[in-house]
Amino acid sequence: MTVKRYNDLIAWQKAMDLVEQIYKITRSFPKEELYGLTSQVRRAAISVPSNIAEGHCRNGRREFVHHLSIALGSLGEVETQLILAHRLGYLADSAAVLEMASETGRLLVGLMHSLERHAAAS
């Protein structure tokens, strides 16, 4: 599996779409959450495509898979923080953004499995 640029990866593209959506929805969070939940969910969201890019730019499949694993962990943080925002009443409808996160997660796992299969076949 050879992808010349990280931004050609669908997982990276979907992760970027998720970050954009997170920024849009957190604009309406209460101002007292600016340095709390708003900042936290934004940083976790940014971590997802950033780790995909960093892993792709590193040397070797093993490092790439490691960074994809970190991205997956950050995605878990994002989902948890979105659920909390919904429970606190900051986010009226969380279904669409949680589905975006879930789709991104499926793509990450698929990419990890693909890289691992190629490593085993080599």
> What percentage of the chain reaches a pLDDT higher than 70?
94
Query: For residue 2, is pLDDT > 80?
Result: no
Segment 39-44 shows an average pLDDT of 98
Instruction: Write down the pLDDT at residue 117.
Output: 85
- CATH numeric code, 6-121: 1.20.1440.60
- pLDDT band at residue 59 using 50, 70 and 90 as cut-offs: confident
How many CB atoms sit inside 10 A of residue 37's CB?
A: 19
Q: DSSP secondary-structure letter at 94?
A: -
Specify burial of residue 78 (Cβ count, 10 A radius: 0-12, 13-18, 19+): buried
Maximal CA-CA distance, the chain: 53
Segment 69-81 shows an average pLDDT of 98
pLDDT digits (tens, 9 = 90+) for 95-121: 999 999 999 999 999 999 999 887 666
Segment 22-43 shows an average pLDDT of 97
Are 49 and 15 in contact, with CB atoms under 8 Å apart? yes
Helices of type H across the chain = 10-26, 37-57, 61-87, 95-121
Long-range (24+ apart) CB contacts under 8 A made by 96-99 are 97/18, 97/21, 97/22, 97/25
More confident of the two residues 103 and 4: 103
Residue of 71, 98, 100 lying closest to 6 (CA atoms):
71
Instruction: Write down the pLDDT at residue 119.
Output: 67
